[in-house]
Amino acid sequence: MRHIRRLPMEKPTNINTISCETLQARLNDGQPITIIDTLPEDHFQRGHLPSARNACVFMVDFQHQVGEIAAHQTTPVVLYGSDSWTRDAEMAAEKLLRTGYTDVSVLDGGISAWVKKGMVLEGNHPNGLAATEKATLIENKTYAIDANQSTIEWAGRNPGTRHVGTLQLKEGRIEAKDGIFSGAFIIDMRTIKNTNLEGDELQPVLESHLKSDDFFFVDIFPEVEFNIERAVPLDKAPLSSPNYHVSGQLTLRGIRAELEFDTIVNRLPDGRLTAEAHFDFDRTRWNVIYGSSRFFEHLGMHLVFDFITLQLKMVTQ
């Protein structure tokens, strides 16, 4: 299993913290204090600290929400988030301090520490607060790729400009077993389209150029196939970063060669899987050599960079 490199992140040192025991004592003593849960509303409804109000720090109107709860900026405010390692409450505190609040503290360890110490929660389902999913749970099955929901975008470059466009997925499937994927998908090269020259008389010229024997020779090689030999999870990768490494064989213009890239695999609420990846690959490995200075001299305006960028989004049915 490959390991993903994690960059160190220091937490702010100028924010006051308060322990669970101290906060509980202040609540028992009836001291005036405003407790704000900085997590999303659905999490707040399931379970929150006694007398807490909700203002989700991820919302763009967070400061306005807090203003509705604590109108006076001298009001003692205690913020809490999810856990000791998350930055939700600290980010909220930074926002309030910049806004002008003068008495802001963060609950040490967040709601997780409160629960671990056996302290009481309120809410619709306080005993059922689930831990955040830190890895995408994959069923052992074969998934068909939804060609209509999946997207493929490309970008090619030369010294003077950049052209972008789309391709259409024809079909695909992936097989999952114990969190490891294999499978294949096919791209219809006849659907290659340019989008940045929309309405320009040069758009069909470029599209014909890409379809010709100069580039992808779609009359002879109308399809591209990528066989996924193995897609393995990256160790301890967060859901917002690449969490799988994909290796396989790409057959393009009749040439089969290895291709590897990282991707982000997530599961939608309805159970479908999504995989998003963006990467560069060297077209000349598949004999797409037009405009490459590795093979030609005196190119002038015909120089085309070797690397093509692909952005893929695959969605299962």
Question: Both 105 and 175 in a single domain?
Answer: no
Residue 8 lies in a domain: no
Q: What is the rounded average pLDDT of the residues 122-142?
A: 78
Give percent of the chain with pLDDT exceeding 70.
94
Question: Both 151 and 273 in a single domain?
Answer: yes
Question: Both 270 and 300 in a single domain?
Answer: yes
CATH number of the domain where residue 159 is located: 2.40.128.110
Q: How many domains are there within the chain?
A: 2
Q: What is the rounded average pLDDT of the residues 172-180?
A: 96
Residue 178 lies in a domain: yes
Within 8 A by CB and 6+ apart from 192, the residues are 154, 165, 166, 167, 207, 210, 211, 216, 218
Q: Which of 82, 105, 128 is the last residue of a domain?
A: 128
Q: What is the rounded average pLDDT of the residues 60-64?
A: 98
Residue 302 lies in a domain: yes
User: What does DSSP assign to residue 122?
Assistant: B
What is d(CA 95, CA 100) in angstroms, rounded to the nearest whole number?
9
Question: Both 230 and 272 in a single domain?
Answer: yes
CATH number of the domain where residue 92 is located: 3.40.250.10
Within 8 A by CB and 6+ apart from 102, the residues are 73, 74
Cβ contact 213:247 at 8 Å: no
Q: What is the pLDDT of residue 239?
A: 84
Q: Which of 102, 128, 154 is the last residue of a domain?
A: 128
Within 8 A by CB and 6+ apart from 311, the residues are 151, 152, 153, 154, 155, 276, 277, 278
Q: What are the residue ranges of helices labelled H in 178-231?
A: 202-211
Question: Both 21 and 119 in a single domain?
Answer: yes
Q: What is the rounded average pLDDT of the residues 158-184?
A: 97
Q: What is the pLDDT of residue 7?
A: 45
Q: Which residues form the domain of 25? A: 16-128
Residue 3 lies in a domain: no
Question: Both 168 and 253 in a single domain?
Answer: yes
Q: Is the per-residue pLDDT at 103 higher than 50?
A: yes
Residue 213 lies in a domain: yes
Question: Both 147 and 53 in a single domain?
Answer: no
Grade residue 11 by pLDDT with cuts at 50, 70 and 90.
low
Q: Is 270 helix (H, G, I), strand (E, B) or coil?
A: coil
Q: Which of 128, 160, 182 is the last residue of a domain?
A: 128
Question: Both 113 and 203 in a single domain?
Answer: no
